[in-house]
Structure 1
């Protein structure tokens, strides 16, 4: 895939701008917060960067082998796969650190939580979270499936990266990065504007009402309390998901399914992620409006990135000399 592809240029612009936006916001906000960034984060970033560099070096070695070997196509494909993985890591590493830090900064706010408004919004939609939790918990086998699907999100990003890297789908890989990063920006802005605790902390249901689910919906509680109560040391290796509104699990499920369209993984991943989105209510501890908002974030990011890429393609086509 040529770097001259206008879509690749547009995706690269989105990736660069989103990383820059998070870094700038972190630098401006951090001095006024109670968060201190531990120096060991630098070591972690360097190690991750060396790993990315190792993939890039492996790609360069394989490229040289492709020029010298009779199996040039095989070596060329391997080189492209290594290079694609390196490109993804070189974008994903700084984005992970900068976006996680921003979300911790947003969660450290002392502003009143707005859970009551989300509960009212759920009621307006005819949805009652405690009743939904109790109902889901009354079916142990269904609850087990939902727990599995919720946790399954962790291995889906590697599938996207490895598939597109190995088939040399650089455009699709960078499109995935651009959509993922754009959705992260929209999520960060929304969670900063609408601070909430989540339904497990708001309703405080009895443990017997969710004994067939894990404590995923409460996993953020200790961290959020520490962020509010005093000095906090930020370590990227110990970060947990603390985004309640919108549901980033929902966003990721849609973005990943979209990224795997027209691949052998599409239908199984679509089924798993459909169930995963359902599981975000009882297992992830999200209001229904969290899920709806997460879906809107995903759609907005996909449509926005696609239109940007299409716009760049149209401009390039218009500038090409006519025959």
Structure 2
């Protein structure tokens, strides 16, 4: 039986040494292409604009990376080509996801923090969010390390791509980036209907109350600006996460742990790091407990979705 191109059990990549384009990257390009068409239409309709020079320069760099990867692949340097192309696509997916959440924030849906609070009390009736976070916040050393772990989402993807290409597991790169892109798309879509101001704001906890929290994502001025300004010009270099439900840090941690699992020497240390990142989403990111559960569901769907698509096409 012929093995599907995106089988979760694929271990040996098809020969691509003399091809300019790796066909396994096609779904990634297709997903990002659709996302940018939607953004180009939706942003003017919602009163949003971006620094065209900055975005254009970023897209140009990504394009140059793709062209350079094609040249290297034709010369047989498949691993280096995959690393460069994957790194560019990963960063493009992140920018696309951030802009998509900004568009989603323009919806008129009411904030659902009360519902999230109720959900937390239902799934963990004996654990008070406010008291728990304030108790953890008193340990400045613990919070400092938790902040560093929380911020590791920014570099783990690049490390994963580097290790996959260095160890010859290049088939993991397109699969990981596609799942990452799907997760960002799902979270942006859900965010349209489930906006939240965040647990810190909901419980009345200012940054001065928990100064040991090193991240500012729990108090997002950008979200309120997106909800109140008729028009807004976005600076992509200054954008940050604004989504509470589902938690992308949770989804990202699971996707990264799944990606690193293919690399024998890195699987256990990176699993520990990403479990710590999930734990840090509550005291550092200001996420409700239900956000973590929803983020885990998003990650599961994003990992399984490519196989489902292949299965449907086969039928």
TM-score normalized by structure 1? 0.81
Q: Which position in structure 2 is the counterpart of 1:70? A: none
Q: Which position in structure 2 is the counterpart of 1:320? A: none
> Are the equivalent residues in 2 in contact too, given 1:49–1:93 (CA < 8 A)?
no
> Are the equivalent residues in 2 in contact too, given 1:253–1:276 (CA < 8 A)?
yes
> Are the equivalent residues in 2 in contact too, given 1:114–1:196 (CA < 8 A)?
yes
Q: Which position in structure 2 is the counterpart of 1:2? A: 14
Tell which deviates more after alignment, 170-179 or 302-311.
302-311
Q: Which position in structure 2 is the counterpart of 1:88? A: 86
Runs of 4+ with deviation above 4 angstroms: 206-209, 309-312
**Equivalenced residues, count:** 293
TM-score normalized by structure 2? 0.83
Q: Kindly state the Cα deviation for residue 94 of structure 1 after the two structures are TM-superposed.
A: 4.2
Q: CA RMSD in A?
A: 2.5
Q: Unmatched 5+ residue regions in structure 2?
A: 1-12, 17-21
Q: Does 1:160 align with 2:160?
A: yes
Q: Does 1:119 align with 2:117?
A: yes
Q: Superposed, which structure 2 residues align to 1:1-323 within 5 Å?
A: 1-2=13-14, 12=25, 14-40=27-53, 41-60=55-74, 63=75, 76=76, 79-89=77-87, 91-125=89-123, 126=125, 127-207=127-207, 209-218=209-218, 221-230=220-229, 231-263=231-263, 264-309=265-310, 315=314
Tell which deviates more after alignment, 83-92 or 263-272.
83-92
| C-alpha distance 115-49 of structure 1, shift in aligned 2 (>3 A) | same
Higher helix content, 1 or 2: 1
Name the CA distance, whole Å, in 2 between partners of 1:34 and 1:103: 14
| C-alpha distance 235-189 of structure 1, shift in aligned 2 (>3 A) | same
Q: Unmatched 5+ residue regions in structure 1?
A: 64-75, 317-323
Q: Kindly state the Cα deviation for residue 222 of structure 1 after the two structures are TM-superposed.
A: 1.9
